[in-house]
Amino acid sequence: MAAKQAAEKLISENLIAVFSKSYCPYCRQAKQVISSLGLPSNKVGIVELDQMNDGSDIQAYVTDKTGQRTVPNIFINGKHLGGCSDILEAEKSGELKKLVAA
């Protein structure tokens, strides 16, 4: 239950929430895209699941919630966006700026 609460808190309290792993190149790429948006740090919540005691439990909960087993797992305005390829596509199409402005 604590994993669910931690995940839902991150999602609800941030414009962008990212479930990441510190060693993952796709996570790094997605975080660079998010950083390039120039949002205030209090609008972006990022957790490195591999550096948390309950990271595997949180990842399991987010997997159950989204059906996506891989990281990064990204939410914008409380809605699941997807992973690295999804945020890259949203950036390229201009949709990402619309999502964060909503």
Identify the pLDDT of residue 1. Answer: 74
- 5 by Cβ neighbours in 10 Å (0-12 / 13-18 / 19+) ranks as exposed
Q: What is the pTM of this model?
A: 0.96
Q: How far apart are CA 36 and CA 34, in angstroms?
A: 5
Which CATH code is given to the segment(s) 2-101?
Answer: 3.40.30.10
pLDDT of 102? 73
Q: Which of 91, 95, 102, 101 is nearest to 34 (CA)?
A: 91
Query: Splitting the chain (102 residues) into consecutive groups of 10 residues, what average pLDDT does each group show?
Result: 95 98 98 96 97 97 98 98 98 96 81
Dihedrals phi, psi of 29, to nearest 5 degrees: -65, -45
User: What is the chain's alpha carbon radius of gyration, rounded to the nearest angstrom?
Assistant: 13
